[in-house]
Amino acid sequence: MKKVWERFGVVLLAGGAAAVLLTLAAIILFLALRGAPALSWEFITAFPRRGMTEGGIFPALVGTLYLVVGTAIIAVPLGVGAAVYLSEYARGGTWVRIVRVGVNSLAGVPSIVFGLFGLAFFVKALGIGVSLLSGVLTLGLLVLPVVIRAAEEALRAVPQEFREGAYALGATRWQVTRSVVLPVAMPGIITGAILALGRAAGETAPIMFTAAAYYTPRLPRSPLDEVMALPYHLYVMATESTFFWKTRHLQYGTALVLLCLVLVFYLAAALIRARIRRRKRW
Amino acid sequence: MARAAERLVKALTWGCATLSLFGLGLITLFLFREAIPFFRHISPFSFLGGTAWYPTQEPPSFGILPMLAGSGLVTAGALALAVPFGVAVALFVGEVLPRGLRDPFKVAVEILAGIPSVVYGFFGLVVLGPWLQGRLGLPTGQTALTASLLLGVMALPTVASVAEDAVSAVPDSLREASLALGATHWQTMWRVVVPAARSGMFAGVFLGMGRAIGETMTVLMVSGNSPVWPPSLLSPVRTLTATIALEMAEAPVGGLHYRALFAVGAILFLFTLLLNVVGDLVAQHVGGKR
Amino acid sequence: MVVQGQMVQLSQDIRDEGAPAFQVRDLSFFYGKEQVLKGITLDIPKRKVTAIMGPSGCGKSTFLRVLNRLYEIVPGARATGEVWFDGRNILDPRVDVVGLRRRIGMVFQKPNPFPKSVFDNVAYGPRIHGVRRRELKAIVERALRQAALWDEVKDKLHKSAFDLSGGQQQRLCIARALATSPEVLLMDEPTSALDPAATARIEGLVRTLKEDFTVVIVTHNLQQAARVSDHTAFLLLGELVEYAPTEELFTRPKDPRTEAYLAGRFS
């Protein structure tokens, strides 16, 4: 009797987990099936036409890539630097605790609040205006804690013996970090950075007031230009455009492209991680 | 030379670490700088307790109680879904699934967290909403329920991953001790693993709650956005986040409406900060015990 | 080949056979509030093997880490007293630890080659100390020969160090330490992770190394201390119980606690 109940419990857990997997599969499959017919070479490489009721998503795709690259330039060096300080230089102490609390808090701030901050600070106070640069700075701050945490975790996973060996040979802290610790931690750091950028690629709220344009007739020529971005484009097409019910096929296509873009980031990170685990020999 | 380089690197990395703190400080400063003047015109009491939100009328009224209730309702609905399923996933992955399958499963859950919120919103708008509308015979598919279901899926990975960390942090020696006393796998899980991992699971709930409250695009697209009072699960509601996203573009910079939206942002900020601190404290409580 | 340190140079001229390599005076050591070493005073002679033995937790590894100031990388560690090496008290905060560690090599309990090639492991020290590229090859070969590893690895210098066996990895770590031409070699239970055959090779190596180097070896293995060392210090709970020529200590221990340890009543 007891056995039956226990079996039932395990089945219940498995059922819950399976339901989660099914949900994921359902969302992806549905978007893939509905979005695939819209995909074409033209869809990827053309500008929107006729008030965004025809044509492609080229400027939004390029804008998102610009945003991602810019975010990487801002957040990855800063985040890795911060993680190196936390894990290699500071090692404990009050300041580190404060910084860590700050990083955790930053990670929990809602993305719309980042948007508000970007508007008040970068766009207005610094006078950068609604631009690629403001968006990149806002997104950079948003993903900074993700990069810091992942990099710190990767640095902490480096065995202490490697550091001791290098110190005992007379290496300075920076030499130890640069020539032994960072190379060992690098795949983990890259994984974290990729995940952070995947997040940046899909965010809408932080760029709504800081960078994103409804429509631009040309690609941005400087960091001070407004940009179109895939997530914002999808939002606008689905809810605010004049004939949103007429462009559903384009919306499905846009959603699918955005989903694929983000999935590529996540799968790349997962593959690198699996590879690290397989090749690890210490 | 080497010493100078050493000092330079230390200073640089210190700067990087401090900058993230500085960023948090700047966010606080600028949110409140824009929000505080608002309360010179409107009392915090009528802001938090008022049931009417007519920011563009003459005279305007800024009562966010409907939005507070909307956010609360949607978040509660999301947690009702995310907590049981998140904990089930954590226990299934940590205790039932063979080791070789754990990582692929975790990647799948991670992807669930990685799907952009605007994509969830779109899915809710064109698929889930209409389906619910048809099924339940509602006048509209854009309801608190629709938002709750989607937010539940989105908050689930947070709950699951924090809870799973707690489950896998339970030392194997505890499990072995229980099994050696003749307990079954199931008894071991409920009487040893779950109690030991309880704090971590609570931390996951707090962090998942923070995720659900702060989510913007999905609720903006699927919850109908009408600031009704009192809200119900099957009617359109509006959340704090959606209010900011909807109205910021039309609010004249520096005006009362603009500042009201920053005040909403400040409340969201304080609330999620609180949830994170509590979540961290609960999580550390686990760490401190061991 | 040794590039001299910048800040505080340790004078090179005292190479007198008679003078001890280290003069340790009233050395105490703390991790936070816990005292790990209690007022240790002893001289470590040049070009001899000195064994530090004692049960686990007696502070012998810590003692070794004071000699090259490696303890500093752990926060909250603090040493008091004096340790004289080549005319300077190395506990003096002004001493250039980088220059010091270049002259005092160390080998650890578990072989810890870097995840790099065999060659790059041995070349690591010379490289960070600015040795030019064309000199590296000769240095690496010399160090590998000194560590009795050259013949086994000369055809796989560019393979990963992790491809070597445990014993080979430990000899690689010895070669890596020797490549900076140190005067002293500190060995922290270098054979505890190795099988008997590999242990025997390392012990043989230690006996030949003392012709050129001062060796300080930490061990909890009595037989090993007896086999390889000239002098033995016995530590118990952070205290130096007895320090004497190895043969004397093993045959005529003066302290009853040493006697008890030799009879197997601790550890």
pLDDT tens digits for range B157-211: 999 999 999 998 898 888 888 888 888 888 888 888 999 898 889 999 999 999 9
Question: How close are the terminal C-alpha atoms of chain A, in Å?
Answer: 47
**Res C18: pLDDT:** 66
pLDDT over threshold 50, residue C145: yes
State the CB neighbour count (10 A cutoff) for residue B137: 8
**Res A1: pLDDT:** 54
* Mean pLDDT over each residue of chain C, to the nearest integer: 88
Cα–Cα distances in angstroms (integers) from residue A203 to residues A142, B27, B196, in the given order: 10, 18, 36
Chain B residues with CB-CB distance to A2 below 8 A: 184
What subunits make at least 3 CB pairs under 8 angstroms with A? B, C
B to C CB pairs, distance under 8 Å? 5
Residues spanned by the domain of B119? 45-288
State both tokens at A59. 């400027």
**Res B75: pLDDT:** 96
Distance CA B223, CA B241 (A): 12
Distance CA B81, CA C9 (A): 68
Same domain, B125 and B238: yes
Continuous H helices in C129-221:
133-146, 150-153, 166-178, 196-209
Return phi, psi of residue C145, to 5°: -70, -40
Any CB–CB contact under 8 A between A162 and chain C?
yes
pLDDT over threshold 60, residue C7: no
- Return the C-alpha torsion angle C163, C166, C168, C171, nearest 10: 130
**Res C3: pLDDT:** 39
Query: Minimal CA–CA distance to C88: which of C5, C28, C18, C29?
Result: C5
Instruction: Look up the CATH number of the domain holding residue B230.
Output: 1.10.3720.10
Chain A CA closest to residue B128: A27
Distance CA A154, CA A272 (A): 13
Distance CA B36, CA B53 (A): 19
Out of A50-64, A189-203, A222-236, B41-55, least confident range = A50-64
Continuous H helices in chain C:
60-67, 97-103, 118-128, 133-146, 150-153, 166-178, 196-209, 222-228, 246-251, 256-262
Same domain, B139 and B268: yes
**Total count of domains within chain B:** 2
Distance CA A168, CA A160 (A): 12
The three-state secondary structure class of B3 is helix
Does the distance separating the beta carbons of B156 and A208 come in below 8 Å?
Answer: no
Size of chain A in residues: 282
Does the distance separating the beta carbons of C7 and B2 come in below 8 Å?
Answer: no
pLDDT digits (tens, 9 = 90+) for B202-215: 999 999 999 999 99
Measured at the alpha carbon of residue B182, what is the angle toward residues B177 and B183, in degrees to the nearest 5? 80
The confidence band for B290, taking pLDDT boundaries of 50, 70 and 90, is: very low
Chain B residues with CB-CB distance to C100 below 8 A: none
Domain positions in chain A: 1-40, 56-279
Any CB–CB contact under 8 A between A97 and chain C?
no
Chain B residues with CB-CB distance to A114 below 8 A: 27
Same domain, B61 and B21: no
Rg (CA), chain B: 23
Question: How close are the terminal C-alpha atoms of chain C, in Å?
Answer: 44
CB neighbour list of residue C160: distance below 8 Å, 6 or more residues apart: A281, C115, C116, C117, C118
Does the distance separating the beta carbons of C70 and A164 come in below 8 Å?
Answer: yes
Burial A127-138, CB ≥16 within 10 A → b, else e: ebebbbbbbbbb
Distance CA C5, CA C84 (A): 18
Distance CA B46, CA B104 (A): 51
Distance CA A91, CA A97 (A): 10
Distance CA B53, CA B72 (A): 17
pLDDT over threshold 50, residue C6: no
**Res B249: pLDDT:** 86
Question: How close are the terminal C-alpha atoms of chain B, in Å?
Answer: 44
**Res A180: pLDDT:** 94
Chain C residues with CB-CB distance to B1 below 8 A: 6
Q: Select the more confidently predicted residue: C152 or B57.
A: C152
pLDDT over threshold 60, residue A9: yes
Out of A69-73, B18-22, B120-124, least confident range = B18-22
**Res C14: pLDDT:** 32
Same domain, B26 and B127: no
Burial C174-210, CB ≥16 within 10 A → b, else e: bbbbbbbbbbbbbbbbbbebbeeebbebbbebbeebb
Same domain, B133 and B51: yes
Question: What is the mean predicted confidence (pLDDT) over C63-72?
Answer: 92
Chain C residues with CB-CB distance to A170 below 8 A: 97-102, 125, 128-129, 180
pLDDT over threshold 90, residue C245: yes
- Residues A42, A46, A52, A54, CA torsion sign: negative
Does the distance separating the beta carbons of A109 and B273 come in below 8 Å?
Answer: yes
**Res A218: pLDDT:** 85
| Minimum-distance CB partner of A172 among C75, C98, C108 | C98
State both tokens at C92. 């003096």
pLDDT digits (tens, 9 = 90+) for B123-147: 999 999 999 999 998 888 899 999 9
Same domain, B51 and B19: no
pLDDT over threshold 60, residue A23: yes
C-beta of residue B63 within 8 angstroms of C-beta of residue B43: no
CB neighbour list of residue A3: distance below 8 Å, 6 or more residues apart: none
Measured at the alpha carbon of residue A96, what is the angle toward residues A95 and A99, in degrees to the nearest 5? 85
Distance CA C213, CA C194 (A): 23
CB neighbour list of residue A278: distance below 8 Å, 6 or more residues apart: none
Question: What is the mean predicted confidence (pLDDT) over B249-266?
Answer: 92
Any CB–CB contact under 8 A between B5 and chain C?
no
Out of A250-259, B10-19, B61-70, C7-16, least confident range = C7-16
CB neighbour list of residue A44: distance below 8 Å, 6 or more residues apart: A56, A57, A58, A61, A257
Cis status, amide bond into B59, omega within 30 of 0: yes
Distance CA B11, CA B2 (A): 14
Does the distance separating the beta carbons of A199 and B122 come in below 8 Å?
Answer: no
pLDDT over threshold 90, residue A179: yes
Does the distance separating the beta carbons of C70 and A167 come in below 8 Å?
Answer: yes
Does the distance separating the beta carbons of C115 and A170 come in below 8 Å?
Answer: no
CB neighbour list of residue B181: distance below 8 Å, 6 or more residues apart: none
Helix (H) or strand (E) holding C53: strand C49-53
**Res C2: pLDDT:** 39
Out of A135-139, B273-277, C17-21, least confident range = C17-21
| Minimum-distance CB partner of A85 among B17, B126, B160 | B17
Chain B CA closest to residue A32: B123
Any CB–CB contact under 8 A between B4 and chain C?
no
Tell me whether residue C117 is exposed, middle or buried, using C-beta atoms within 10 angstroms of its C-beta: 0 to 12, 13 to 18, 19 or more.
Answer: middle
Does the distance separating the beta carbons of A170 and C101 come in below 8 Å?
Answer: yes
pLDDT digits (tens, 9 = 90+) for C112-129: 999 999 999 999 999 998
pLDDT over threshold 70, residue B14: yes
Distance CA B202, CA C19 (A): 65
Same domain, B21 and B105: no
**Which residues in chain B belong to E strands, given as ranges?**
53-54, 61-62
Measured at the alpha carbon of residue A133, what is the angle toward residues A131 and A135, in degrees to the nearest 5? 75
Burial A21-48, CB ≥16 within 10 A → b, else e: eebbeebbebbeebbeebbeeebeeebb
* Amino acid, single-letter form, for residue C219: T
**Res B289: pLDDT:** 41
| Minimum-distance CB partner of C112 among A92, A161, A175 | A161
Query: Minimal CA–CA distance to C179: which of C215, C247, C225, C129?
Result: C129
Share of chain B above pLDDT 90, in %: 60
* Mean pLDDT over each residue of chain A, to the nearest integer: 91
Q: Which residue has the tokens 């799907």?
A: B115
pLDDT over threshold 80, residue C77: yes
Share of chain C above pLDDT 70, in %: 93
Query: Minimal CA–CA distance to B153: which of B202, B122, B104, B120?
Result: B120
DSSP letter, residue C115:
S
pLDDT digits (tens, 9 = 90+) for A193-216: 999 999 999 999 999 999 988 888
Does the distance separating the beta carbons of C102 and A169 come in below 8 Å?
Answer: yes
Chain A CA closest to residue B185: A6
Chain C CA closest to residue B6: C98
Task: List beta partners, residue C52.
Answer: C218, C233
Touching C: A residues 167-186, CB under 8 Å: 167-172, 175, 179-180, 183-184
Q: What is the CATH number of domain A56-279?
A: 1.10.3720.10
Continuous H helices in chain A:
2-35, 41-45, 58-84, 94-108, 111-118, 132-156, 160-168, 173-176, 182-202, 205-208, 230-235, 248-279
Q: Which domains does chain C have, with CATH numbers?
A: 21-262 (3.40.50.300)
Distance CA A259, CA A256 (A): 5
**Res C58: pLDDT:** 85
Q: Which residue has the tokens 């000899």?
A: C171
Distance CA C238, CA C56 (A): 11
Measured at the alpha carbon of residue B68, what is the angle toward residues B62 and B70, in degrees to the nearest 5? 115
State both tokens at C37. 């070493």
Chain B CA closest to residue A175: B6
Same domain, B59 and B29: no
Tell me whether residue B126 is exposed, middle or buried, using C-beta atoms within 10 angstroms of its C-beta: 0 to 12, 13 to 18, 19 or more.
Answer: buried
